[in-house]
Amino acid sequence: MRQAIVTMAVSGCAAIGGCATQTSPTYTASDVKVATATDKAAGTSLVTKTSRFEIHADPWLSLHHLAFHYARNDSGLRVRGYTPLTHDDLDAFTPDVVAAFEPVAKAYEPYYEMSLLRSAPLRYSSVAIVMGGVDSLEDPALKQALIDVMPVYKTHFWDRHEAAAQRLIDSFSADLHHHGDDMARRLTDYLESDWSSEPMRVDIVPYASWAGAYTGTRPVNHLTIGALQDMALDSSFETLFHEASHASPMSDQLDAAEKAAFAASGLDMNRYWHALLWYASGRAAMETLGEPYQPIYVTSGRLTDPKWGPVYQSLDAVWDEHDTLQARAIAAAKRVVALQAGTPEENRSD
């Protein structure tokens, strides 16, 4: 039975899922996408390019994401990272469209328990489409199912998805024109990093992951954002820079800052580095965009979350007292440990 639950995804970043073991296809950052006859029949991909981002709205990658989420939602399985579809897309699945999607849903059955980011087979399916088009997919059943259903997708979904992608791209373009340099300057300063010399590939799809966006760094840096998910419009500018900062060289100092903080404070907290990144990108966005913008760590509830709230509150308390990422990470970690121990404010030595 079709899942008719429609809620918008919480702002976030990387999808959750277990990694699958598979020999990975060979793709490198120097690979150039060559449009095949199949690709040309579906439409073009590149929409706009700036000094930092190369933004695409590719119908094949959009179909891949829609079909994966539709198929696993429709399976009735309890899967991690459930990603709901909008009412408009659910309504488009009339009996005839459902019948047309049955073969592609079946082709995705082996992938139901996988993550688009963390599971090699799905990750490399996206990379194959990005780098070489749908004809580059190594799974013959999936490739043929996508090719067969593309006319149905173009008729019933693509116009709506393309329009949503264009709205998001227009928002990106305006913000990057007015604020892109300032945001990049602030974020590279906070992360003590450098921006990549090559523009990062960004793909706008209808649904990315449960979190609304994710970034893969292997074998190439590749950012995917969902245009029909709340965060795509509410916090698109911050999301773009946050996701890009998952990749090297922007992310290069985060691991060292986390390790130094743990060594100095005794804190042991999974993905503390990610909180550092969320806070840095959110603060940079807030300072760049000004009032009334609120960063994602606020709007998503992280600031008041029982587990993560003390981390963000501590980062906020110590940030201006220190000049380096590592010093800020250490001071915040010490403050979190003191809060966990119930140490009174006046007795803290952070």
What are the pLDDT digits (tens) for 31-90? 334 334 444 445 557 688 999 999 999 999 999 999 999 999 999 888 888 899 999 999
Q: Which two tokens stand for residue 335?
A: 């403050």
Q: Report domain extents, the chain.
A: 37-244, 254-347
Question: Which residue would you say has higher pLDDT here, 257 or 6?
Answer: 257
Q: How many residues does the chain have?
A: 350
pLDDT of residue 255: 97
Q: What is the pTM of this model?
A: 0.84
Question: CB-based burial of residue 265 (10 Å sphere; 0-12 exposed, 13-18 middle, 19+ buried)?
Answer: buried
User: Looking at residue 335, what is its pLDDT?
Assistant: 97
Per-residue confidence (pLDDT) for residue 15, from 0 to 100 = 31
Give mean pLDDT, residues 163-187: 95
pLDDT tops 70 at residue 177: yes
State the average pLDDT for the chain: 86
For tokens 């404010």, the residue is 345
Distances (CA, A) of 59 to 162, 206, 214, 317: 8, 10, 18, 45
pLDDT at 3: 34
Q: How far apart are CA 51 and CA 48, in angstroms?
A: 10
Q: Is 125 exposed, middle or buried (0-12, 13-18, 19+ CB in 10 A)?
A: buried
